[in-house]
């Protein structure tokens, strides 16, 4: 069928298989253009189908020749209905991996569950024996706790007092004031359960107990800090509490990996347009200003540029991994540059509906958002019939 974008609020209901394939190919080409990385060889990516997780899988495979197993939660296609983008991304990734002679298999299901952890362990045992790198890149609004069966929902709220600031509806370009009521303790606790480090440590414990972790294993999860203007709703809000927990969990996991000489890292990444970040108020306005400035300074990056740099200039340089005073890898260094943040502050004050197309990169935001769903890519014929039933080779 001919597939067009169908927007509903912060999501797009359709995805384009050929556009997603183009996106994956572009990312592969970028990684190849940067040369070989002396990195991991057998990699498990949890949250492997979109955003930073997909970029991590591509960088592992096409930068470091790694065999990859990807875990994610995506909707398969049905007659007349497209799959979610991560499904088509993975279909394309596996095809490209096959062509390149690289092992790649995928598991579609709830990564928070015991069943999917067991299925992953069985697959590692059967095909790879062990893994030497585990990338934890889940972003989810809900988590069914495997021990209690309780469904926890995360929230994006400030803590302590109502937060009022500017935001933009990136579809219309309307800049308005948004007020968000503060979280209660339950909101905070639930958000930590969903987006904190508990599931990451459960994964590592299960993998360790199953004996499928290689000596010297590395695991990494992704965090965010960001600027003052988003602090109340992000780093000092409910999601920030979850990130505090995630970052603390890295130290616990490192301790638990002692006998294997293993290490757990958190990398603080740059703010980017993904399905997860588009749903957070205030962030889209910040991102549209940030993109404009970083592009003008020649330091703009997408997920793939971020992760390629994380691997080649932080994790696998052959010497000590540089971290900040809290033990975190910083790949948000260009976003957080003083001159860039100073410009943001000035522009934030004056941003309105009327001037945002001028002072911000609203067009770039929209383009990236369309790209998430496989739309707006050069070299794709969107007027042609597309095969919405495209399957992932390893999942039938
Ligand atoms: P994303 O929405 O693009 O990717 C989320 C991934 O998790 C997808 O592969 C999805 O299928 C998978 N997933 C979600 N729920 C699942 C479940 N129950 N079981 C299995 N898989 C599931 O998100 P994004 O932005 O790449 O986020 C990944 C990590 O990076 C998150 O921890 C996020 O906080 C962090 N991060 C994001 C930044 C941003 O600006 N987007 C900035 C810095 C860090
Ligand atoms: Na991801």
For residue 141, the number of C-alpha atoms closer than 13 Å in the C-beta half-sphere is 8
Q: For residues 336 and 297, what is the distance between their CA atoms, to the nearest angstrom?
A: 13
pLDDT at 181 over 90: yes
Region for 379 from its dihedrals, namely left if φ exceeds 0, alpha if ψ lies in -120 to 50, beta otherwise:
left
How far is Cα of residue 206 from the mean position of the Cα atoms in its chain? 23
Q: Tell me, what's the pLDDT at 80? A: 87
DSSP structure class, residue 4: -
Instruction: Please identify, by atom number, the ligand 1 atom nearest to the C-alpha of residue 277.
Output: 41
Task: Please compute the mean of the pLDDT values over residues 127-132 and round it to a whole number.
Answer: 98
Residue 178, H or E segment:
strand 174-180
**Closest Cα to residue 197, out of 266, 284, 263?**
266
Q: Tell me, what's the pLDDT at 116? A: 98
Q: How confident is the model at residue 148 (pLDDT cuts 50, 70, 90)?
A: very high
Task: Please compute the mean of the pLDDT values over residues 240-250 and round it to a whole number.
Answer: 98
**For residue 326, which phi and psi values (nearest 5 degrees)?**
-105, 15
Task: Please compute the mean of the pLDDT values over residues 247-261 and round it to a whole number.
Answer: 98
Q: How confident is the model at residue 279 (pLDDT cuts 50, 70, 90)?
A: confident
Task: Please compute the mean of the pLDDT values over residues 335-359 and round it to a whole number.
Answer: 97
pLDDT at 247 over 80: yes
The set of long-range contacts for 189-193, using a CB threshold of 8 Å and a minimum separation of 24, is: 190/152, 190/153, 190/154, 190/155, 191/154, 191/155, 191/238, 191/239, 191/241, 191/242, 192/238, 192/241, 192/242, 192/245, 193/143, 193/145, 193/152, 193/154
Q: Tell me, what's the pLDDT at 280? A: 84
CA of 366 to the centre of ligand 2 (A): 19
| Residues 349, 359 contacting (CB under 8 angstroms) | no
Q: How confident is the model at residue 143 (pLDDT cuts 50, 70, 90)?
A: very high
Q: Tell me, what's the pLDDT at 276? A: 79
In the block, tokens 């934030």 appear at 348
If you take atom 24 of ligand 1, which residue's CA is the nearest one? 51
Q: Tell me, what's the pLDDT at 256? A: 98
Query: Would the annotation count 268 as a binding residue?
Result: no
Share of the chain above pLDDT 90, in %: 95
CA of 72 to the centre of ligand 1 (A): 9
Whether the predicted interface score ipTM is above 0.90: yes
Catalytic residues: 234
Task: Please compute the mean of the pLDDT values over residues 35-57 and round it to a whole number.
Answer: 98
* Lowest-pLDDT range of 15-19, 270-274, 292-296: 270-274
Helices within the chain (DSSP H only): 17-33, 51-64, 85-99, 114-123, 185-195, 198-209, 228-231, 238-256, 275-278, 283-296, 303-310, 338-350, 356-359, 362-372
Q: Best substitution site from 112, 139, 368 to test ligand 1's pocket, by max atoms within 8 Å of Cβ?
A: 139
Q: For residues 328 and 321, what is the distance between their CA atoms, to the nearest angstrom?
A: 10
Task: Please compute the mean of the pLDDT values over residues 102-125 and round it to a whole number.
Answer: 98
Give the binding-site residues of ligand 1, using a 6 Å CB cut-off: 47-53, 71-74, 86, 110-112, 137-140, 222-224, 269, 271-272, 274-277
Q: Tell me, what's the pLDDT at 141? A: 95
Distances (CA, A) of 348 to 126, 287, 367: 53, 11, 21
Q: Are strands 131-136 and 42-46 parallel, antiparallel or unpaired?
A: parallel
| Residue 357: both structure tokens together | 């197309």
Burial-class residue 288 by CB neighbours within 10 Å (0-12, 13-18, 19+): buried
| Residue 374: both structure tokens together | 């496989």
Both ends of the chain: CA-CA distance in Å? Answer: 21
- The bound ligand whose nearest atom lies closest to the alpha carbon of 145 is 1
């Amino acid at each position: 069928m001919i597939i067009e974008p169908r927007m509903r609020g912060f999501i797009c209901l359709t995805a384009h298989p050929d556009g997603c394939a183009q996106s994956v190919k572009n990312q592969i080409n970028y990684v190849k253009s940067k040369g070989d990385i002396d990195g991991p060889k057998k990699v498990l990516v949890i949250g492997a189908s979109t955003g930073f997780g997909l970029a991590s899988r591509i960088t592992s495979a096409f930068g470091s020749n790694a065999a990859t197993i990807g875990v994610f939660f995506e909707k398969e296609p049905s007659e007349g209905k497209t799959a979610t983008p991560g499904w088509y991304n993975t279909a394309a990734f596996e095809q490209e991996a096959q062509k390149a002679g690289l092992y790649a298999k995928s598991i579609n299901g709830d990564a928070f569950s015991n069943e999917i952890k067991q299925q992953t362990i069985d697959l590692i045992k059967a095909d790879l024996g062990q893994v030497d790198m585990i990338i934890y890149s889940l972003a989810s609004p809900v988590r069914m706790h495997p021990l209690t069966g309780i469904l926890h929902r995360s929230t994006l709220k400030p803590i302590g007092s109502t937060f009022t600031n500017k935001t933009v509806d990136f579809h219309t370009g309307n800049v308005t004031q948004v007020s968000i009521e503060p979280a209660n303790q339950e909101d905070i606790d639930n958000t930590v359960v969903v987006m904190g480090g508990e599931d990451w440590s459960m994964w590592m414990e299960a993998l360790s107990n199953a004996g499928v972790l290689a000596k010297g294993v590395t695991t990494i999860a992704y965090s965010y800090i960001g600027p003052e203007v988003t602090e109340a709703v992000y780093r000092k809000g409910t999601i920030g509490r979850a990130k505090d927990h995630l970052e603390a969990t890295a130290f616990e996991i490192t301790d638990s990996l002692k006998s294997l000489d293993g290490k757990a890292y958190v990398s603080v990444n740059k703010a980017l347009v993904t399905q997860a970040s588009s749903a957070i108020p205030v962030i889209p306005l910040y991102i549209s200003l940030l993109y404009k400035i970083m592009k003008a300074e020649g330091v703009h990056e997408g997920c793939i540029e971020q992760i390629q740099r994380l691997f080649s200039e932080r994790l696998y340089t052959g010497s000590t991994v540089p971290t900040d005073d809290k033990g975190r890898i910083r790949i948000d260094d260009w976003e957080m540059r003083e001159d860039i943040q100073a410009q943001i502050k000035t522009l934030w004050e004056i941003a309105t509906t009327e001037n945002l197309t001028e002072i911000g990169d609203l067009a770039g935001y929209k383009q990236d958002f369309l790209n998430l769903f496989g739309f707006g890519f050069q070299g794709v014929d969107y007027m042609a019939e597309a095969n919405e039933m495209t399957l992932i080779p390893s999942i039938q």
